[in-house]
């Protein structure tokens, strides 16, 4: 009797537990489905919150205009665009993702790896791949959209940032005409940049160095140029040694040369230069040679002189001893937050702004490389100052890296530490050998080696 009761009791317990699990599971799955099936009504309107990383006067008003158009086409939907200053945007995006209070983010730089590791971004492929926006993307944009795995889209590209040199030919012609000829041909090397210190004057110098935030990117340009073509597709690993590129002897030569360029061919004030100061330094003539992204074209065009004036020219980045250069061509993009309560509406808005003519106008106004097929065939992006990107695209000796190493979780920590190390090197309190040793150890121990 007791045994029977015990059996009945245990059956009842198992049944209750099983029921509870199934109810909980049903609850979870229906809740997950619900976020992809949001149906806004007058009684229950939907607000989609989007936060920009690169907010600015050239693009934020345009995004707001698209938001109003989207609202007009989708009753009971409101799109809120948050445009923090670029100095605060990384922290703001991180905070909103943590607070689960945002639908769309622009996870530039280290935020992407960080958000992916925290599982804060949604895979929108099943929904987005059926849209017009997806169909209109270039093949490379689709490749970028699936960087985290086939049929997985955690970021929809919104524009490419390609590095090129902005050059003032007049002072270089006066001080280093031979180097200017090489720059125009696209064969100038980093050693030539140092040699062009002969174009320095009392109030200006050859190279616009970056000494403040993101200063280590300067070191990465030259170290990659010295290690290429032995680089993996992400650009942080040497294919020959199968370890991080910072281990190679070439990296030491590269970094030593970088420090020479800083000491002898750059304005002393550039130790405190970040992005705006570098651009301003070129615009006001303090520096003759600036390596920056394509969106700077518009700034230089407006603040210094129109490109047609001939007062400035565009050139390819300097090359290393083997004649190669390498850079990330990954760009920025939009991601839907995993915590979004209306992922379908958020993705619909991404579809709207990724489709032309919206994207084409965005790329033109903001000055980023286009991600759609129609915008990419626009002659605007092949003429004038933009012609250089066509040249870069066709040059097999300028390697295009896919940004997969930058997307690694370890990158954020490396970014902040390497920046401090660069500044310590400028101040003379850290040697190039020690910095490289630290960086090599970091990548070899804390990051995933994709070529091992």
Partner 1 sequence: MSASVHKLVRKDGKKAQNILAPLWFLLPALIMVAIFIYYPVLATANMSFKNYKLFDQSNIFYNGFENFRGIFKDLAFRRILQNTVLWVTVSLFFQFFIGFGLALYLKKKFKFSGLYQSIIFIPWALSGFLMGLVWKWIFDDNLGVLNDMMLKLGLIDTPVPWLSNANWAMAAVIIANIWYGVTFFVIMILAALQGVPNEILEAAELDGCGKAKTLLLVIIPYIRPTLILIVLLRIIWITNFPDIIFGMTSGGPNQQTHILSSWLVQKITYDQDWGSGSALGLLMLCVLFIFTVFYLLATRLEKDSEGN
Give the x/- contact pattern for partner 1 in 358-397, rule: CB under 8 A: ----------------------------------------
Torsion sign across C-alpha atoms 31, 338, 129, 56: positive
Interstrand relation of 325-328 and 398-401 (parallel, antiparallel or unpaired): parallel
Would you say 206 or 345 has its CB closer to partner 1?
A: 206
Residue 117 CB, nearest approach to partner 1 (Å): 5
271 sits near partner 1 (criterion: CB under 8 A): yes
Q: Which of 136, 175, 211, 234 binds partner 1 (CB under 8 A)?
A: 211
| Interacting span for partner 1 (CB under 8 A) from 106-114, 167-175, 318-326, 363-371 | 106-114
The footprint of partner 1 on this chain (CB under 8 A) covers a number of residues equal to 36
From the list 48-56, 149-157, 296-304, 423-431, the region that binds partner 1 by CB under 8 A is: 423-431
Shortest distance, position 94 Cβ to partner 1, whole Å: 5
Q: Are 359 and 372 in contact (CB under 8 A)?
A: yes
Between 154 and 324, name the residue whose CB sits nearer to partner 1.
Answer: 154
User: Running DSSP on this structure, what letter comes out for residue 168?
Assistant: -
Q: Is 280 in the site for partner 1 (CB under 8 A)?
A: yes
| Euclidean distance between CA atoms 215 and 272, whole angstroms | 10
Omega prior to 229 cis, within 30 of 0: yes
| Residue numbers 118-137 binding partner 1 by CB under 8 A | 118
Q: Which is nearer to partner 1, 274 or 384 (CB)?
A: 274
For 415-422, the CB contacts below 8 A with 24+ separation are 415/109, 415/110, 415/214, 415/216, 417/442, 418/216, 418/219, 419/213, 419/214, 419/215, 419/216, 421/216, 422/211, 422/215, 422/216, 422/218, 422/219
Binding flag, residue 203, partner 1 (CB under 8 A): yes
Contact indicator for 94, 118 with CB cutoff of 8 Å: no
82 binds partner 1 (CB under 8 A): no
Told to check if 448 binds partner 1 by CB under 8 A, we report no
Residue 313 near residue 6 (C-beta atoms within 8 A)? no
- The 84-103 site mask, x for binding partner 1 (CB under 8 A), equals ----x-xx--x---x-----
Kindly identify the residues of this chain, within the stretch 286-315, that bind partner 1 according to CB under 8 A: 286
Least Cα distance to 112 among 367, 404, 442, 384 occurs for 404
Q: Is 184 a residue that touches partner 1 (CB under 8 A)?
A: no
> Where is 166: in which H helix or E strand?
strand 164-167
Spatial distance between the Cα atoms of 151 and 146, rounded to a whole number of angstroms: 6
- The answer to whether the beta carbons of residues 277 and 209 sit under 8 Å apart is no
Taking a C-beta distance cutoff of 8 angstroms, is the pair 443, 235 a contact? no
Over the Cα atoms of the chain, what is R_g? Answer: 25
Closer to partner 1 by Cβ: residue 378 or 413: 413
Closer to partner 1 at the Cβ: 41 or 203? 203
70 binds partner 1 per the rule CB under 8 A: no
Q: Does 212 bind partner 1 (CB under 8 A)?
A: yes
Options 13, 22, 37, 117; binder of partner 1; rule CB under 8 A: 117
Choice from 227, 270, 339, 404 touching partner 1 (CB under 8 A): 270
CB contact at 8 A, 90 and 97: no
Site residues for partner 1 per CB under 8 A: 88, 90-91, 94, 98, 110, 113-114, 117-118, 203, 211-213, 267-272, 274, 280-281, 284, 286, 409-410, 412-413, 416, 420, 423-424, 426-427, 429
């Amino acid at each position: 009797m007791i045994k029977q009761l015990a059996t009945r009791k245990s059956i009842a317990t198992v049944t209750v537990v099983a029921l509870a699990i199934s109810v909980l599971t049903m609850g979870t799955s229906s809740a997950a489905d619900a976020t992809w099936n949001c149906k806004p009504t007058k009684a229950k309107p939907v607000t989609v919150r989007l936060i920009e990383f690169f907010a600015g006067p050239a693009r934020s008003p345009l995004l707001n205009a698209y938001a109003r158009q989207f609202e007009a086409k989708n009753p009971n939907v409101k799109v809120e665009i948050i445009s923090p200053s670029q100095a605060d945007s990384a922290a703001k995006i991180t905070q909103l993702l943590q607070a689960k209070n945002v639908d769309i983010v622009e996870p530039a730089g280290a935020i992407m790896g960080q958000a992916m590791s925290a599982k804060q971004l949604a895979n929108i492929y099943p929904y987005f791949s059926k849209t017009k926006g997806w169909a209109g993307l270039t093949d490379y944009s689709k490749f970028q959209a699936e960087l985290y795995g086939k049929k997985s889209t955690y970021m929809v590209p919104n524009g490419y940032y390609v590095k090129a040199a902005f050059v003032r030919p007049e002072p270089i012609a006066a001080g280093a005409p031979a180097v200017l000829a090489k720059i125009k041909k696209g064969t100038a090397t980093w050693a030539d940049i140092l040699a062009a210190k002969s174009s320095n004057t009392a109030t200006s110098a050859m190279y616009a160095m970056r000494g403040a935030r993101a200063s280590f990117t300067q070191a990465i340009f030259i170290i990659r140029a010295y290690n290429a073509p032995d680089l993996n597709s992400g650009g942080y690993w040497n294919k020959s040694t199968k370890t991080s590129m910072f281990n190679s002897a070439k990296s030491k030569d590269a970094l030593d040369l970088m420090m020479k360029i800083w000491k002898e061919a750059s304005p002393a004030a550039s130790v405190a230069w970040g992005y705006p100061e570098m651009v301003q330094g070129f615009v006001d003539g303090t520096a003759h040679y600036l390596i920056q992204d394509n969106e700077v074209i518009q700034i230089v065009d407006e603040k210094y002189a129109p490109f047609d004036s001939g007062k400035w020219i565009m050139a390819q980045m300097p090359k290393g001893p083997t004649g190669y250069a390498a850079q990330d061509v990954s760009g920025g993009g939009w991601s839907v937050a995993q915590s979004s309560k209306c992922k379908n509406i958020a993705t619909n808005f991404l579809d709207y702004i990724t489709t032309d003519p919206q994207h084409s106008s965005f790329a033109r106004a903001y000055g980023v490389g286009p991600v759609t097929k129609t915008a990419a065939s626009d002659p605007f992006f092949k003429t004038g100052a933009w012609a250089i990107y066509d040249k870069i695209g066709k040059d097999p000796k300028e390697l295009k890296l896919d940004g997969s190493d930058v997307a690694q979780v370890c990158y954020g920590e490396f970014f902040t530490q390497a920046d401090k190390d660069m500044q310590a090197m400028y101040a003379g309190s850290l040697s190039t050998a020690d910095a490289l040793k630290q960086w090599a150890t970091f990548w070899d121990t804390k990051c995933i080696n994709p070529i091992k």
